[in-house]
A and B are shown apart, each in its own frame.
Chain A
Amino acid sequence: AADQKPTIPIIVKDTTSFFWQIVLSGARKAGKDLGVTVPELGAQSESDINGQISILENAVSEKPAAIVIAPTQFKALGKPIDEAAKKCKIIGIDSAADSKAFTSFLQTDNVQGGRVAADGLAAAIEAKYGKPEGGVALITSIPGVGSLDQRAKGFKEEIAAKYPGLKLVADKVADGMATTALNIMTDLITANPNLRGVFASNLIMAQGAGQAIAENKVADKIKLVGFDSDNKLVKLLSDGNITALVVQDPYRMGYEGVKTALAASKGEQVPATVDTGVNLITKENMNSARSQELLNPKVK
């Protein structure tokens, strides 16, 4: 009977990141619940596009029932997914790819995530200074990553469209290291006395930037919005060093991804797109049940 178990590999963007480990644990749980073998695959860096293509190719040759994949890059993964879709059903999660071959798509709208961050930041600045005015900055983890670019896009568009008082004074790209984020943030604080808000668009950047806020004791002056969460960021949030976190629901993404894939492989009808949503979590709402579910996913 064990041989009959269908195989549905899940391919994430970066196995070394906590976010994707949560996705994987959701998928693992689904595998256990639904009786599916779920190989956990993924590149070792979000920018390793070629690595992910290779992994996808390898996964296809395993002749799986379906594949769940989070494409690292929109354009690059398009053709390989088209190819793979000839052999099995493909379910996309998190980000899109340039392919019409997805059977279903469970997505975080990263552009929307950027907008939410902008709104959250503006609200915090308004709460402190009375008006959403002053300098804001953006710190991106590494260049050339689709989802980060989309968050940046959403953030900048929202600021430009809705908050004419907010000026983007710096748009920094780091090298994926928390220390670099810390140094950049420290120097931003030094160089821009009028800085009032910062958006650090992923986990590691938020960790570094949050640390800089704490180190320089400017939590009162400068509002920081991060993206994603782990207990370090939750602590910074509860300390007030981070104003708000934009969190996705990675656990659900993994779980639902596998579930949808199984259904699709059996030929059942599945929705073409599902938005798993982004949520803004602040110190005020962080203790609600839903927030706690998002902030403390059951990673095992």
Chain B
Amino acid sequence: MDQVQQDGKRSGAADSVVPLLELKGLDKRFGATHALKSVDLIFEAGEIHAIVGENGAGKSTLIKLLTGVHVRSGGEVYWEGKPVALATPHEAIGYGINAVHQEVVLCPHLTVAANLFLGDEKVRLGLLQHREMVREAQKILDEIGFKIAAGAILSSLTIGQQQLVATARATTRGTRFLIFDEPTAYLTRQETAQLFALIGRLKAKGVTIVYISHRLEEVFQLTDRVSILRDGQWVSTQRTAETNEEKLITGMIARSIEQIHYKETIPFGAEILRTERLSGKGFEDVSVRVRAGEVIGLYGLVGAGRSEFVQSVFGRFPKTGGQIFWKGQPVEIRREKDAISIGIALVPESRRDQGLCLNLGVGLNINLPIYKRLTKGFVIDPRAEAAAADRQIRDVQIKTASRDAPASSLSGGNQQKIVVGKWLNHGAQLFIFDEPTVGVDVGTKVEIYKLFATLLKNGAGIILISSYLPEVYDLADTLHVFRRGRLIASHDSAHTKEKALHEAILTEALGV
């Protein structure tokens, strides 16, 4: 605690004596969960302050207390030296505290313009100025360099674009204090660059920025100071320049990680899956091959058609042309069940929307694909059911209170493990991972990578979709680049650190 204050004084000495925002003993409980334990933090005017920590460390909770989403259970908050309640979003916005939250919280049915001005509409004589708002919104978007149509219905945008809308919205509200909670998780490189440029401009204008991310390179690229949270407790606050990645990780998880991108070399076996000129909604003419022990990586921009391609392989959407071969034999996959029964597993892009029955038990989620096997006669064998669930909870090391705990009670990384775990019992041989590490902390990422290795060693093949290029480099044996629904280039043994190759891949993906 002393350290914080000293730190604060040191960096604050330049401008003013009173910090912009000061937290003292901030505390938050959700029922039995103690999410934040007496956190003290100081945010200086005009700085970019990073907050890092594992999944469930309490980062988002801290933000939600500052923006009035949740009401704190204890402690005090001082805004320019004066104590404030921050009991409602309205109040927070009033001080100029705005946030771009981790999950996109906008109204999907409304237009981009309507979302930008929500709660702050332009009215004349009590009437909405529809056209003026669209015009104004377009101007704002153009000015910050986001290429988004202000009149578009929000749900027609990609998640990344929606995140940008949320960003634009937060920045236009006379903001003095702006919080980004994992803003780049769903952004393409292009969009990330736009965002960083914006953050630079905001800093120049004197806006104080809090930046939360699991991508440590971003922390070093952008921020002035960095605070670490662990288990809801404050660990340290340092000048970013005075620390390094290793130290941060140690602070976050109290141990060092030698190799973040974990990959063992495993010899390739026989071919598992091959597609020949496969076409469907959103992709065309895609031919790929996966062998036992092999990871193929699919890289591309959001909307490149990678998800559509794998979902078609999985039978979610019908293919319109081409052929799928399973272990050399042509197969017809018309629905998910066909894919599952031959041994294909899909870990979908969105855990919340596609992967989990959140309010149901961990065990039910794990067993969902294999209930047929757990059934004796008409009735489920309760012992087999429990055993199957427990085995996966153990094998994949899911941290859960019990197999009956609702999936929603687990932290993001552990939820991801459920989605993976349910296919292990089933005995799938081809695993399709669509953005498996979005929003996952470094420690859990390593766990997931280790899991990849286990799968490969057991003779499975993996298709990995990721928009996070370092991940694809390190993990994929073969890298395919998608652009506008077509496979435009393939690279063998992609885990090379050659800069030239990176550039090539990027160029291919963007179609420059």
Q: Do A and B come into direct contact in the complex, CB within 8 Å?
A: no
Binding site for B on A (CB under 8 A): none
